[in-house]
Amino acid sequence: MATIVIALGGNAILQPGQAGTAAEQAENIRKTCVQIAGMIEAGHRVVVTHGNGPQVGNLLIQQEEASAVVPPMPMDVAGAMSQGMLGYWMQNQLDNLLRERGIVKPVVTLVTQVLVDRDDPAFKNPTKPVGPFYTEAKAQRYMAEKGWQMKEDAGRGWRRVVPSPNPKAIWEKEAIKTLVDAGAVVICSGGGGVPSFLEGEKLTGCEAVIDKDLAGQRLAADVGADLFCILTDVPKVCLRYKQPDQEMLSRVTLAQMHKYASEGHFKAGSMGPKVEAIMRFVEATGKWGVISSLDDATQAVEGNAGTVIVP
């Protein structure tokens, strides 16, 4: 029996082209949870973390659209809301699927804060686009009025950019560990957790976004996981992705992967942080990690699918 931390990508919850109704998202989550239920049925202990990009994007649009009547909430609060929403769907669907299989164990969501360093260079160079697209005029107004940093995004309009600092620690790790040790399935650190920094003894949330895979790595290390598994929409990590001589990786050592990464095979906004997160886990723990598609997940956690990264 292994303790596995699973990081789910946004596509496990909201697929491109879908409007994002509650019914659509709950059904996508149900399908994802079928895979997770399979792992639990096979005897593994599972901790689940997930992205929240499309959901927090929608929340930010709602904050703005209703701002004449309801005070808009800042990003740390919107992140916590998305943890409640997505966690609710996940614990409900996974618990139902487990009971269908005759498995009764607590499935719970913990609202999670993640410690970041206020001196993280990311705070001086915000790069992560969030929320809706704006016209240049509106973007100029918000930059002046709200102090937002905004960037033009490939001809699609202007978007707010926020810092994406490095996760230092999962603030609620002790409680998560208590629950895992008691046999619970824990959903936590959703959307990378609420980024929070310490000033003296005071922890304060901030307007930033932690990469959910990097936060998942911290989570996996903090709960003493045997395996860190990132699920995405491709079956394996590729060298020369989408080029004629593309090569799928099945089993790679940490040293090889470092070499591939330094050669620029993995893009910053997509496979880059996933590979980086798995490499950090393997490096920190001496255990193994895997990146796979959702469909192959139950095979991947046995080492029989996806891209396995070993020490």
Query: Does 275 sit near a copy of itself (CB under 8 A)?
Result: no
Number of residues that bind a copy of itself (CB under 8 A): 53
Whole-number Å distance between alpha carbons of 309 and 303: 10
| Site for a copy of itself contains 146 (CB under 8 A) | no
Q: Which of 1, 16, 17, 19 touches a copy of itself by CB under 8 A?
A: 19
- CA–CA distance, 300 with 278 (Å, rounded to integer): 14
Active-site residue flag, 102: no
Residue 285 interacts with a copy of itself (CB under 8 A): yes or no: no
Q: Which is nearer to a copy of itself, 189 or 293 (CB)?
A: 189
Q: Has 212 been annotated as catalytic?
A: yes
Is-catalytic flag, 183? no
109: contact with a copy of itself by CB under 8 A: yes
With contacts defined by CB under 8 A, name the span among 19-27, 148-156, 215-223, 281-289 that binds a copy of itself: 19-27
Contact segment (CB under 8 A) with a copy of itself among 139-147, 203-211, 261-269, 286-294 equals 203-211
The amino acid at residue 90 is M
The distance of Cα 93 from the centroid of its chain, to the nearest Å, equals 19
CB of 46 to a copy of itself, least distance (A): 14
Binds a copy of itself by CB under 8 A, chosen from 110, 114, 223, 278? 110
Q: Which residues face 307 on adjacent strands?
A: 291
Exposure b/e, 83-116, CB count within 10 A at least 16 = b: bebbbebbbbbbbebbeeeeeeeebbbbbbbbbb
Output DSSP code: residue 199.
Answer: E
The Cα 61–Cα 131 span in angstroms is 7
Active-site residue flag, 10: yes
Minimal distance in Å, beta carbon 86 to a copy of itself? 9
Residue (of 33, 60, 44, 30) closest to 133 by Cα position: 60
Residues 47-106 that bind a copy of itself (CB under 8 A): 58, 61-66, 69-71, 73-74, 76-77, 80-85, 87-89, 91-92, 95-96, 99-100, 106
How does strand 113-115 pair with strand 194-199?
parallel
Q: Which amino acid is it at 267? A: K
Residue 28 Cβ vs a copy of itself, minimum distance, rounded to whole Å: 14
Residue pair 129/151 in contact (Cβ under 8 Å)? The answer is yes
Q: What is the dihedral of CA 21, 27, 33, 34, to 10 degrees?
A: -170
Active site residue 173: no
| Catalytic one of 190, 193, 212, 306 | 212
Selecting among 79, 173, 274, 306, the annotated active-site residue is 274
How far is it, in rounded angstroms, from Cα 260 to Cα 247?
12
Q: Give dist(CA 40, CA 96) in Å, integer.
A: 13
**What residues make contact with a copy of itself under the rule CB under 8 A?**
19-22, 58, 61-66, 69-71, 73-74, 76-77, 80-85, 87-89, 91-92, 95-96, 99-100, 106, 108-111, 113, 172, 174-175, 178-179, 182, 184, 194, 196, 201-205
* Active site (catalytic) residues: 10-11, 128, 212, 274
